Amino acid sequence: MKNLRWLVVVLTFSVAACGGQQGSSAPPAATPGAPAGAPGLTQQPYSNLAQLMRAIPFNSANIIFDTQTHDPGEKPKEGGGDSSAATSRFASIYTGWPLVEQSALAISETANLMMIPGRLCENGKPVPLDREDFRKAIVGLAEAGKAAYKAAQSKNQEQMIEVSNTVTEACLVCHEIYRDKPDNADRCVADAGK
């Protein structure tokens, strides 16, 4: 009973926060002429790049990758089933394919957050927004999220297996150049000649 009350509270706040729209599977469209930010809130980074990546796309990508071996549309087994599956962790709030869709959208939204000027890397160096290859990698991340969203909408596990590779490749484009360094001090700095 306590869990049911908690779920009702969470859903009430979720519906209120989302303007009461339910059942829409399309991402919200931008409103032309809308103000750039809420009063009293400026667009600024609140985390370094590593914290952002660990908070949003790491979790979201793992939910997408999980669909390669766990069908999000499958009914949970009696007794809770495989609680180690990423798609099972939040099953009491958002379940199955909607969770995968939301994870795909979060990956695309991360691209927007990465473009906020002033964000630093974990080592204190500025995120290389001035580099064309980095900006192209961010676009690739947004596109991978959009492809994953479309695949999740199909509710087809085979399409999710294919799009998982797209997400992996989008991450690797940036990681190979900017993240995977023997010394953390060199992160966010492209190798010479790249």
**Overall average pLDDT of the 60-85 stretch:** 79
Q: What's the CA dihedral at 17, 60, 104, 188 to 10 degrees?
A: 110
CA distance 95 to 54: 22
Task: Give 73's pLDDT tier (boundaries 50, 70, 90).
Answer: confident
pLDDT tens digits along 93-105: 667 899 999 999 9
Number of separate domains in the chain: 1
CA distance 134 to 61: 19
pLDDT tens digits along 119-147: 999 989 999 999 999 999 999 999 999 99
Q: Residue 62: inside a domain, yes or no? A: yes
Assign residue 79 a region: left if phi > 0, alpha if psi is -120 to 50, beta otherwise?
Answer: left
Q: Residue 118: inside a domain, yes or no? A: yes
Residue percentage of the chain with pLDDT more than 90: 52
Q: Say yes or no to pLDDT of 8 above 60.
A: no
Two tokens, residue 11: 């859903």
CA distance 190 to 179: 9
Which residue would you say has higher pLDDT here, 132 or 12? Answer: 132
What pLDDT does residue 173 have?
Answer: 92
Domain range for 94 is 48-75+82-194
Q: Say yes or no to pLDDT of 14 above 90.
A: no
Q: Tell me if the pTM is above 0.75.
A: no
CA distance 113 to 53: 10
Q: Residue 2: inside a domain, yes or no? A: no
- Cα Dmax for the chain: 62
Q: Residue 88: inside a domain, yes or no? A: yes
**In this predicted structure, which of 4-13, 28-37, 61-70 has the lowest mean pLDDT?**
4-13
What pLDDT does residue 28 have?
Answer: 43
Task: Give 179's pLDDT tier (boundaries 50, 70, 90).
Answer: confident
Q: Residue 168: inside a domain, yes or no? A: yes
Q: Residue 42: inside a domain, yes or no? A: no
Q: Residue 6: inside a domain, yes or no? A: no
Q: Residue 94: inside a domain, yes or no? A: yes
**Overall average pLDDT of the 147-161 stretch:** 96
